Structure 1
Amino acid sequence: MHGLVNVLVIIAVIALVVLRQCSAQQISGDRRWWVLPGVLLVMALREPGLVDPRHEALSFVVLGAELAVGLVTGAGWAWTTRLWRAEDGVLWSKGTKATVYVWTGGLILRAALYGLAAAMGIHQGGPALMMALAATLLVRSGVLALRAAGMPQPYPDPAGVASFRPAWKDRV
């Protein structure tokens, strides 16, 4: 039953994340961006089957490769996400076409790793996938938080209306 629950959690998280990426999302100053990836990581670590006991060394190599793909996918996802500040000062984000390409590339690489592991007789369970997804979300959220912190803040002009100072690269 644990395997089914893990698969359902993974599908639910991916569906939630993809749905949120397809529409503009307001970015709050919330400092809890690490909570969902942290919960996934804890769930992955407490489940048996993170590594295949019959092929322990190779299983760790494949898991490391999956985590590397997850980290690169998360960073690419965050850097291809469009960030902007509305006239009222609210920060927004939305995935771009490049974000879709990053997601697709990450999924293809993960499927290739899974296929390679299966061809070598290494069993990869839900916990490994959950850990890689946690790494992806953690890096994506962290990079987005850093990018959001670097966005120009509104400042009141003499008339009391919020406006924005141009970013350094907007000045010529």
Structure 2
Amino acid sequence: MRTENQMSINPVQIQGKQITIRPVRKSDKGLTLNFAATLSAESQKNQFLGGVRQLSAKDIEQICDTNFPDSMAFVATLMAEGIEREVGLARYVEDTTTGAHELAISIATEYRHSTLARTLVEYLAAYARKHRVRVLYTVDLDSNTAMRKLADDLNMSVRLDPDHTHQVIYSLNVDAHPETITL
């Protein structure tokens, strides 16, 4: 039986480029570290809820070493001059205190207005559905217009974060979301 890290994902065309979407691997640490370093200041602000920072070695380890099915990550890569380059990442992690699964998405600036984020979330939702994860949620700044558009496109529910006035919580009911990807 194949493990999740051996899953083969067919390339997709986004903005005229062939992009491969596949499960993240432990060996992707350098790739992911390079990707994180290229995120724009706005992307970092949105990703870290206003606290611009660099990812630590421990953060990279947690991203690239998933604990199936409680956590999962899909990476989007393309080949540029013979070198694999990461252009997107979507992951979920189980909150062991609540059993809920938090979603995080990072997209390279040049793909921010493409379908890449939606495609990554659809792969993640398909994986979650297959492993009986029912809801994915994300906490975002209310000023994050890219996430608001993605949430609208995916018919995610939205509510204000009761603890932080400038944050919202988006939730994706995996069972109610149309199955567009089959793994």
Shorter-chain TM-score bucket reads under 0.3
**Higher alpha-carbon Rg:** 1
TM-score, structure 2 normalization: 0.24
Structure ranking higher on relative contact order (CA contacts 8 Å, 6+ apart): 1
The structure that is helix-richer by fraction is 1
Q: TM-score, normalised by structure 1?
A: 0.25
